[in-house]
Amino acid sequence: MKCYPVPRENLVLSIDNLKDDIPEEYLSHKECYENVIRKGSVLYDIFSELSKDRKHKAHQAPSNAYRISDGIMQNVNPFLLHFALFVPAITNQATPEQQAEFLKHGFGIIGTYAQTELGHGTFLRGLETTATLDLETDEFVLNSPTLTSYKWWPGGLGHTANHCVVMAQLYVKGKCHGPHLFFVQIRDIETHEPLPGLKLGEIGAKMGFNTADNGFLGFHNFRIPRNNMLMKNSQVLKDGTYVESKNEKLTYGSMVFVRVYLLSDMAYMLARAATISVRYSAVRHQSHIKPDEPEVQILDFVIQQHKLFISIATSHAFKICGLWLWQTYSKVMEDIGKGSMDRLPELHALSCCLKTTSTRDAGWLIEQCRLACGGHGYLMSSNLPSLYTTATAAITYEGESTVLLLQTARYLIKSWKRAMEGESLPATVSFLSEYFNKRYNKWENTPKGIVDGLKLVVAGVTKMCAESIQKHVSRGQQYEEAWNSSSVQLIKASEAYSRALLCEVFWFEVDKVSSTLSNNLAVVLKQLAELYITYWALEKRGDLLVYTTISKDDLDKLQERYEELLALIRPNAVGLVDSFDIRDEILCSTLGAYDGRVYERMMEHALKSPLNAETVNQSFHKYMKPVILKHKI
């Protein structure tokens, strides 16, 4: 996977014409798009220059530096798909010769990843776009046979990209070989006009992501060279011979990359929301704790700490687990490069449930941060509304959450069956064997004890799912029907598995490095990790009571410890969000600026509203005054 050198923050933030005179929320839909293209083009130019000087580092661990662009854009970058999916799809799925050919223009082309259609997003085998081999001309003919087969949603497709990687059903000599990827130019490089045989446009305003330029694309007998099929894993030869892939799911590899990346991405989204809401909570004084004392910082309310500190801890949890998952991804990609695909199912299962949990948690936690800021959190200038709509889009894109959790459940059930047959299991699911063989310990009120307890919940729910499926089958249902009948519990098993993974990796990674850290830092990181684990033990107390030997007394002690941790973290709370080191220009928040001048910034921002350009808006004279005068008594 090529990674793009990321421009240093100072370099990017020092560029004058990247600043907005009018806040984006006061621009029209069209002006918004034109504005991000203006800024994105400057960024793109910087990326191009920088990439000429430095070698691309393959398999570079996720870094959120590319989110500088979000700070500059104050919204989603329409070029993001080029980097997030278009280039990775080519580097993962094309032969070296094709990569050299397709990427020879480097930043000279702008691409996107066109897979989802109006009629299908989840069920990829149901995609309707066709790519049919024409033996005589050595070309593929692309068609959108129905309205529902139009590509719909790809970022940058509407008016930005001039190329895309298209997922289409491959037809050779009348036989369908399933979804494959194709490199397609869609606009003229010089004029940017759509090429003949294409229908292109944007899909309209959305809840957020409104600068992503999500678009639609229809093909009408559109021809591309045969060599434009990405042929690293499977090939179509000149004589029409189809050489199938060692694993047909390798075609889906680009989605795994983004799912893995999203864990780190959500860590960064949460870091921003936590920074804004904790800093604001240190500035905002409201109400009393002791009646005879001055109004307090709202951060001194324990319930405010309960709302916000979990976001600080979760950001670190996702960052640490994101790097752990990235290392797994890199190792599996390396193995695949050597011809071994043994761990691909495990990586798929891990990426599905962790992508789902991280995006869902980021959504509700950012909303919780907003709500904790009262009315001012509802202002666009706080940036919390935009963070929310941007984060929650990820619950759907790159694999809808329910669908991905069912994928992980599929892996858990298969692993449970292997445990029952005495097979050895990968470390990430080996606890299923221990549970099956009744090798587990009594409850302990320690972080490790909680992690072990959460794993027992996973094993217990997985066992219950397997028994439920078996029960439905024994009553005459086909396996797929029995699976569907048990899907509520299957989702629960995957959710529990994801939570146990996050708690285990967070705690043990922190524990592992703590000896290398200064004592103060180790203490604070361990407090955050313990807060995270204890928070979720209390949230899942019902399951723990069902599947472990935890007692009511243990739970009371956990609640007490949780509240102790809130008090221990309180003195470091502002320092902890400052340590996320997110500059004001990237935070883009009147509530979260480093200098704490909240009220002055709110007023400065309000005065930028176009409505405040005059004391009386023309609508008074045009519309209100006639009515007032007419009904004046």
Ligand X SMILES: Cc1cc2nc3c(=O)[nH]c(=O)nc-3n(C[C@H](O)[C@H](O)[C@H](O)COP(=O)(O)OP(=O)(O)OC[C@H]3O[C@@H](n4cnc5c(N)ncnc54)[C@H](O)[C@@H]3O)c2cc1C
Ligand Y SMILES: CCCCC/C=C\C/C=C\C/C=C\C/C=C\C/C=C\CCCCC(=O)SCCNC(=O)CCNC(=O)[C@H](O)C(C)(C)COP(=O)(O)OP(=O)(O)OC[C@H]1O[C@@H](n2cnc3c(N)ncnc32)[C@H](O)[C@@H]1OP(=O)(O)O
Pick what 407 binds: ligand X, ligand Y, none; C-beta below 5 to 8 Å, kind-dependent. ligand Y
Looking at beta carbons only, is 255 or 274 nearer to ligand X?
Answer: 255
Assess whether 24 carries a catalytic annotation.
no
Pick what 214 binds: ligand Y, ligand X, none; C-beta below 5 to 8 Å, kind-dependent. ligand X
Which residue from 32, 127, 258, 333 is in contact with ligand Y, where contact means CB under 6 A? 258
Residue 146 interacting with ligand X (CB under 6 A): no
Which residue from 213, 398, 452, 504 is in contact with ligand Y, where contact means CB under 6 A? 398
Q: Interface with ligand X by CB under 6 A: which range of 111-119, 521-529, 565-573, 599-607?
A: 111-119
Query: Residues annotated in the binding site for FAD, as ranges?
Result: 116, 155
Q: DSSP letters along 79-102, please?
A: THHIIIIIHHHHHHHS-HHHHHHH
- Closest approach of Cβ 196 to ligand Y, in Å? 27
- Tokens (6 digits) for 614: 């005059």
Query: What is the spatial distance between Cα 344 and Cα 350, in angstroms, rounded to a whole number?
Result: 10
Residue 153 interacting with ligand X (CB under 6 A): yes
Query: What is the spatial distance between Cα 306 and Cα 278, in angstroms, rounded to a whole number?
Result: 12
Pick what 256 binds: ligand X, ligand Y, none; C-beta below 5 to 8 Å, kind-dependent. ligand Y
Pick what 44 binds: ligand Y, ligand X, none; C-beta below 5 to 8 Å, kind-dependent. ligand Y
Using the structure block, give the residue that is written with the tokens 């000429």: 52
CB 433 within 8 A of CB 425: yes
DSSP state of 477: -
Looking at beta carbons only, is 51 or 368 nearer to ligand Y?
Answer: 51
Which residue from 1, 3, 46, 81 is in contact with ligand X, where contact means CB under 6 A? 81
SS (H, E, C) 492-542: HHHHHHHHHHHHHHHHHHHHHHHHHCCHHHHHHHHHHHHHHHHHHHHHCHH
- Closest approach of Cβ 289 to ligand Y, in Å? 42
Cβ-count burial 102-141 (b if 16+ within 10 Å, e if not): bbeeebebbbbbbbbbbebbeebeebbbbbbbeeeeebbb
Residue 121 interacting with ligand X (CB under 6 A): yes
Looking at beta carbons only, is 66 or 329 nearer to ligand Y?
Answer: 66
Residue 477: HSE in the Cβ half-sphere, 13 Å Cα cutoff: 14
Query: What is the spatial distance between Cα 580 and Cα 589, in angstroms, rounded to a whole number?
Result: 15
Residue 41 interacting with ligand Y (CB under 6 A): no
Which residue from 397, 483, 497, 580 is in contact with ligand Y, where contact means CB under 6 A? 397
Which of 24, 117, 367, 398 is the catalytic position? 398
Residue 255 interacting with ligand Y (CB under 6 A): yes
- Write out the binding residues for ligand Y, residues 86-125 only, by CB under 6 A: 113, 115-116, 121-125
Residue 256 interacting with ligand Y (CB under 6 A): yes
- Closest approach of Cβ 209 to ligand X, in Å? 4
Handedness of CA 280, 286, 292, 294 (dihedral sign): positive
Residue 393 interacting with ligand X (CB under 6 A): yes
Q: What are phi and psi of 590, to 5 degrees?
A: -70, -25
- Tokens (6 digits) for 132: 């049919």
Distances (CA, A) of 294 to 304, 380, 607: 18, 30, 31
Angle at 100 between CA 95 and CA 102, to 5 degrees: 90
Pick what 297 binds: ligand Y, ligand X, none; C-beta below 5 to 8 Å, kind-dependent. none
Residue 265 interacting with ligand Y (CB under 6 A): yes
Residue 66 interacting with ligand Y (CB under 6 A): yes
- Closest approach of Cβ 311 to ligand Y, in Å? 19
Residue 116 interacting with ligand X (CB under 6 A): yes
Residue 218 interacting with ligand X (CB under 6 A): no
Cβ-count burial 3-38 (b if 16+ within 10 Å, e if not): bbbbbebeebbeeeebebeeebbebeeeebbebbbe
Looking at beta carbons only, is 76 or 325 nearer to ligand X?
Answer: 76
Residue 64 interacting with ligand X (CB under 6 A): no
- Tokens (6 digits) for 602: 């709110």
Beta-ladder partners of 250: none
Which residue from 40, 111, 155, 449 is in contact with ligand X, where contact means CB under 6 A? 155
Which amino acid does the sequence have at 40? Answer: G
CB 211 within 8 A of CB 118: no
Residue 345 interacting with ligand Y (CB under 6 A): yes
Using the structure block, give the residue that is written with the tokens 């109006």: 118
Looking at beta carbons only, is 343 or 472 nearer to ligand Y?
Answer: 343
Residue 266: HSE in the Cβ half-sphere, 13 Å Cα cutoff: 32
Which residue from 32, 33, 35, 44 is in contact with ligand Y, where contact means CB under 6 A? 44
Which residue from 83, 113, 318, 431 is in contact with ligand X, where contact means CB under 6 A? 113
- Closest approach of Cβ 401 to ligand X, in Å? 7
Residue 150 interacting with ligand Y (CB under 6 A): no
Query: What is the spatial distance between Cα 504 and Cα 260, in angstroms, rounded to a whole number?
Result: 18
- Longest pairwise C-alpha distance within the chain: 90
User: Which residues bind to ligand X, rule: CB under 6 A?
Assistant: 81, 113-116, 121-122, 153-155, 209, 214, 393, 396-397, 399-400, 402-403, 406
Footprint of ligand Y on this chain (CB under 6 A)?
A: 4, 40, 43-44, 47, 66, 69, 77, 79-80, 83-85, 113, 115-116, 121-125, 155, 249, 252, 255-256, 258, 261-262, 265, 344-345, 348, 397-399, 403, 407, 410
Active site residues: 398
